[in-house]
Structure 1
Amino acid sequence: MAAELTRKDPERAPAPAGAPAGPRAAAARRAARLRALRPWLLLAPALAVLAVLLFWPLVRVLLLSFQDYGLRQINTGESNYIGLGNYREILGDSFLWRTVLPNTVLFAVVCVLATVVVGTLVALLLQRLGRVWRIICSSVVMMAWAMPAVTGTYVWVWIFDPLNGVVSGGLDGLGAIEPRETNWFTDRWSFYAIAALNVVHHGFPFVAITVYAALLTIPRELPEAALMDGANAWQRFWNVTVPTIRPVFLVVTILSTIWDFKVFAQIYLMPGGAGSNPEVLNLGVWSYIQSFSRNQYGMGSAIAVLLTLLLLGITVAYVRALSNERDHL
């Protein structure tokens, strides 16, 4: 067979052991390498832009976190590396463990849970509405999502204004509080309750629309079969809906976790959130204040790195937990 192939087309004949490959084989290998590189060549411009806009700033922040970097270093351009000094100072500060970290973690957990629950309930409502009311409700929901975080924060500040706010005025009319003696923004818990309302109000539309889109992909036969088997509404939701669209819940939960852990405007723009009330600082605002209010850019960069590592750790742990749960199903 090899002799016949050699007689008909010498270039396609198999090369003897140890002999150099023919020109056609070399051309095939070059074509294969080119096909493998073609996607990366097409992505190269976008990757280059991302490297300039995202990767280099991350590297720069990491380098600054190992320096005692302030106004003097900005003016002179010199570097003042101190190793892990910034990290030791931050991790050894009781203010981190007593105030900043609890504010960041507890606030994010509450906001993520509330955002996913409210968004899912709204998605289930949209599924049951008629076409006209679904369009109206979806439009209203999207308006809440389209509102900028800065605008939404000022609206909530006005609602809870101690003197002229809607809440204070209503409770004053009922005789429940004395507006001039009640300031919702000085207390740590009421401050974060208002911030949570703000964040959930701004974040639940994304969850609602995403989950509603996922609900449309569930075959109608599944809930109908569960209903015929005697399952109630909760059982149908937990045993049919949730397992079917579990990847969607994973995506919205991870994204909500990332967004809520790095909340900045909703805290910084509220009265006391810019540093005048240290009891309400979270990691993002603390990093900003250290950098731009106190000109300790190395310290602020170290705080930002710790926040990034915290986010990565939580995201990886959550994805692994859900993956293990799915494998056991």
Structure 2
Amino acid sequence: MSQEAPAQAVLGPSGPAPVGRSTRSGRPARKNARRRLVRTTRPWVLLSPALVLLAVLLLVPLVRVAQLSFQDYGLRELASGTTNYVGFANYLEILGSEFLWRTVLPNTVGFAFVCVVLTVTLGTVVALFLNTLGNTWRVLCSTAIMVAWAVPAVTGTYVLIWIFDPLNGLVANVLADVGIIEAGTVNWFTDRLGFYAIATLNVVHHGFPFIAITVLAGLMTVPTELYEAAKIDGAGAWRRFWKITVPMLKPVFAVVTILSTIWDFKVFTQIYLMPGGNGGNPAVFNLGVWSYIESFAQGKYGMGSAIAVLLTLILLSITVVYMRTLFKEEDL
């Protein structure tokens, strides 16, 4: 009995006692914790160089612009290195200005709205056309339209300035030859609507290839069986587009629309380089040009920074809508 009792105590009722189990079970737990830590920190370690670069190039200047927007900062403060904080005075002056509500904001919002509608519409039409072509012609035509995307905005703007030149431009000469106008009597750049009509043509021409290629990529993922079944049921091309193409490509249209809105809200080059856009004609200013003129032409860096902050807030709001749209589409 005395020998069986210790043996039973060692073996226990269900077998040998787990000698050293706590030590052995602690090692896998620590290994799993280290693995989780590595999996969590590894992406951030790999992204750290890019994040540091973005912080230096984007975050620091953004913080500096935000600081300047609360100051009455001009050439005197720039030369002396002093600061003159005025709180929200710059923002109150901007928001209380009739020039903002009657000229700058309508130019910015109206121009962006028209450009987005025309760009998305033209890009979709071109994508539908490319989708009907064979592989060889599709590649050739896609390459051709991408030339407009590859041309810098500066080059495209100067080409349109030459085309619509009031004296020797192509449009003025053609209209003069057919007797509609007299050469040199009409200057489209001085008129607000004419100015933005040319700018719209420039932006749409430069932006529609991105829409076309993106929508084309979406069209190529739509099963052809859906269109064949719709044809059998008697649906025409217009009905097939609205009942099949649009619902299937709704995420694509949402993305290209929001991206185009962001790009067209902050158009600067196409406006500034046109005659009158660099300060000679205040009636054609948008938020980007107005901020630049106030800062570097007038020497009111605080006021220009406040305008830039307002534009940034608008773009951030659009970006939030864009991100929420993407997340909703992923949830679907």
Could you state the TM-score of these two structures normalised by the residue count of structure 2?
A: 0.90
Contact 2:255 2:322 survives alignment (8 Å): no
The structure-2 alpha-carbon separation of the partners of 1:298 and 1:235, relative to structure 1 and needing over 3 Å to count, comes to same
Report matched runs for 1:53-132 at 5 Å: 53-132=57-136
Per-residue CA deviations over 1:165-199 (Å, capped at 9, x if unaligned) read 11111111111112222111111001100000000
Q: 2-side partners of 1:280 and 1:47: how far apart?
A: 37
- Give CA deviations for 1:282-318 in whole Å, capped at 9, x if unaligned: 0000000001001111111110111111223344456
Unaligned runs of 5+ in 1: 14-21
CA 146–4 in structure 1, closer or farther in 2 if over 3 Å, else same: farther
Please state if 1:280 is matched with 2:284: yes
Q: Distance in 2 between matches of 1:146 and 1:138?
A: 12
Worse overlay, 140-149 or 234-243: 234-243
Question: Are 1:309 and 2:300 an aligned pair?
Answer: no
1:47/1:314 CA distance change after superposition, 3 Å = closer
Q: Which runs of 4+ in 1 moved over 4 A?
A: 1-5, 317-327
In the alignment, which of 252, 258, 271 is matched to residue 254 of structure 1?
Answer: 258
Match of 1:137 in 2: 141
Q: Please name the residue that 1:43 is paired with.
A: 47
Query: Aligned pair in 2 of structure 1 residues 4, 197: CA closer, same or farther (>3 Å)?
Result: farther
- Partner letter of residue 133 of structure 1? W
Deviates more, 1:132-141 or 1:278-287: 132-141
CA distance in 2, matches of 1:103, 1:5: 82
Distance 1:200 1:98 in 2: 25
Q: Matched residues in 2 for 1:313 and 1:85: separation?
A: 23
C-alpha distance in structure 2 between counterparts of 1:225 and 1:45, whole Å: 52
Instruction: Select 1:11's aligned residue among 17, 20, 23.
Output: 23
Q: Kindly provide the amino acid, as one letter, of the partner of residue 284 in structure 1.
A: G
Identity %: 64
Q: How many residues align?
A: 320
- The secondary structure found in structure 1 opposite 2:184 is helix
Instruction: Say which one has the larger Rg.
Output: 2
Within 2, Cα distance between the matches of 1:99 and 1:287?
Answer: 14
* CA RMSD in angstroms, aligned pairs only: 2.3
Give CA deviations for 1:86-134 in whole Å, capped at 9, x if unaligned: 1001001100000000000000000001000000100111111233332
| Alpha-carbon distance in structure 2 between the residues aligned to 1:5 and 1:55 | 61
Q: What residue is the counterpart of 1:160 in the other structure? A: 164
2:37 matched to which residue of 1?
33
* Cα shift at 1:145: 0.8
> Quick one: which of 235, 243, 258 aligns to 2:247?
243
Q: Is the 8 A contact 2:251 2:329 kept in 1?
A: no
Aligned to 2:10: none
| SS of alignment partner, residue 181 of structure 1 | coil
8 Å Cα contact 1:268-1:285 kept in structure 2 = yes
- Other structure's SS at 1:167 match: helix
Contact map agreement 1:11 1:24 (CA 8 A) in 2 = no
Secondary structure (helix, strand or coil) at the match of 1:179 reads coil
In structure 2, the gaps of 5 or more residues are: 1-12
Provide the C-alpha distance between the structure 1 equivalents of 2:306 and 2:17, rounded to a whole number of angstroms: 68
Distance 2:54 2:328 in 1: 32
Question: Which residue matches 2:185?
Answer: 181
CA distance in 1, matches of 2:35, 2:319: 40
Distance in 2, Cα, partners of 1:111 & 1:2: 79
Query: Is contact 1:6-1:12 (8 Å) kept?
Result: no
Letter in 2 for 1:177: I
Is 1:198 aligned with 2:210?
no
Are the aligned partners of 1:5 and 1:12 in contact in 2 as well (CA < 8 Å)? no
Secondary structure of the equivalent of 2:18?
helix
Rounded to whole Å, the distance in 1 between the matches of 2:313 and 2:16 is: 65
| Superposed displacement of residue 24, structure 1 | 4.5
Contact 1:105/1:261 (8 A) holds in 2: yes
Partner SS state of residue 259, structure 1: helix
Distance 1:309 1:8 in 2: 61
Give the whole-Å Cα distance in 1 for the aligned partners of 2:41 and 2:136. 50
